């Protein structure tokens, strides 16, 4: 391996006790989340297309994980990065970003459910005014491609093609669209289940209230389950106590949705756990 970036991907798949529910532990990526895949793809493609040069300053709106992934890749490759994020995000995420050398701009919002929209608009304004490059994870097709070419084939191989249900939270839509597209091509009968937040949950986006991300393909999704912050945190604690897995809030939400659906309809479930719980400690 030449750099830490070569460690991105090929994350473990772990089975829950007494159920055919498998958890894809994306917290094992070097930057600690599924967004390392996306950051790596977006920056590499921008370099290939010639729009990202050594003196280019990157800017990106992020609730934390994409920002951290970009900060990891940017620092290895030598780029300056500015992250615009809602002030409600955990202090752990801010500190990790700072350690990777990113500059942070915090934004506020009257409605917590639309706080990410405020950050997006602010990042766009700054990018236009100062000539920074915004890779825009919400509309960048390389976000989808990262999961179509890496996450999905890993899941297919790890389950020997026996997967029947795929469960993922909806944020940018990149994971569920990329993995969903690949799995439906392999077997149209695989059910794709999206998870939305009833309350503000870091990493998830309520598309019933805020604009739908451009890259999200709702046609691939068979069912959507809404989860409360309370149920998300309950499952974070349950995973830790019963399975020895310390996961983040969006992971708790996705696991709750998977368990709910599994009780109605058994099968071979794969659930994306986007990150670990260490960056949420101050919020538990």
pLDDT score of 113: 59
Domain of residue 108 covers 37-134
Which CATH number belongs to the domain containing residue 49 in this structure? 3.40.50.1100
Give me the number of domains the chain comprises.
Answer: 2
Tell me: pLDDT of 209 over 90: no
pLDDT tens track for 231-249: 999 999 999 999 999 999 9
pLDDT level of residue 64 (50, 70, 90 thresholds): confident
Strand partners, 33: 275
Reference 176, options 142, 156, 148, 157; nearest CA is: 148
Q: Is 35 a catalytic residue?
A: yes
Measured distance CA(166)–CA(269) in Å, rounded: 6
Tell me which residue of 109, 130, 36, 110 sits closest to 120, measured CA to CA. Answer: 109
Catalytic residue chosen out of the listed positions 24, 250, 251, 261: 250
User: Does residue 101 lie within any of the structural domains?
Assistant: yes
Looking up tokens 């068979």, which residue turns up? 222
Q: What span, in angstroms and rounded, lies between the C-alpha atoms of 138 and 281?
A: 27
Q: Which of 35, 181, 191, 261 is catalytic?
A: 35
What does the pLDDT read at residue 110? 65
- Whether 203 and 277 share a structural domain: yes
Boundary-marking domain end, from 134, 158, 193: 134
Q: Among this protein's residues, is 160 annotated catalytic? A: no
Q: What is the pLDDT of residues 84-96, one digit of tens each?
A: 998 888 899 899 9
């Amino acid at each position: 391996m030449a750099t830490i970036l070569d460690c991105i991907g090929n994350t473990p798949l772990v089975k829950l006790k007494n159920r055919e529910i498998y958890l894809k532990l994306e917290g094992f990526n070097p930057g600690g989340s599924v967004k390392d895949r996306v950051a790596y793809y977006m920056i590499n493609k921008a370099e290939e297309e010639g729009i990202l040069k050594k003196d280019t300053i990157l800017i990106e709106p992020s609730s934390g994980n994409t920002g951290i992934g970009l900060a990891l890749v940017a620092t290895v490759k030598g780029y300056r990065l500015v992250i615009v994020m809602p002030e409600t995000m955990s202090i752990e995420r801010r500190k990790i970003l700072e350690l990777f050398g990113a500059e942070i701009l915090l934004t506020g919002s009257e409605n917590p459910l639309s706080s990410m929209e405020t950050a997006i608009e602010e990042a766009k304004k700054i990018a236009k005014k100062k000539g920074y490059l915004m890779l825009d994870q919400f509309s960048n097709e390389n976000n989808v491609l990262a999961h179509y070419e890496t996450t999905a084939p890993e899941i297919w191989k790890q389950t020997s093609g026996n997967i029947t249900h795929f469960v993922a939270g909806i944020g940018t839509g990149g994971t569920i669209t990329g993995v969903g597209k690949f799995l439906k091509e392999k077997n149209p009968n695989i059910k794709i289940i999206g998870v939305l937040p009833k309350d503000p949950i870091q990493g998830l986006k309520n598309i019933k209230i805020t604009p739908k991300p451009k890259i999200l393909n709702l046609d691939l999704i068979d069912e959507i389950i809404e989860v409360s912050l309370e149920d998300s945190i309950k499952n974070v604690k349950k995973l830790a106590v019963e399975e020895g897995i310390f996961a983040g809030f969006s992971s708790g939400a996705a696991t709750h949705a998977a368990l709910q659906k599994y009780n109605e309809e058994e099968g071979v479930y794969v659930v994306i756990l986007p990150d670990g719980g260490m960056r949420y400690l101050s919020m538990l």
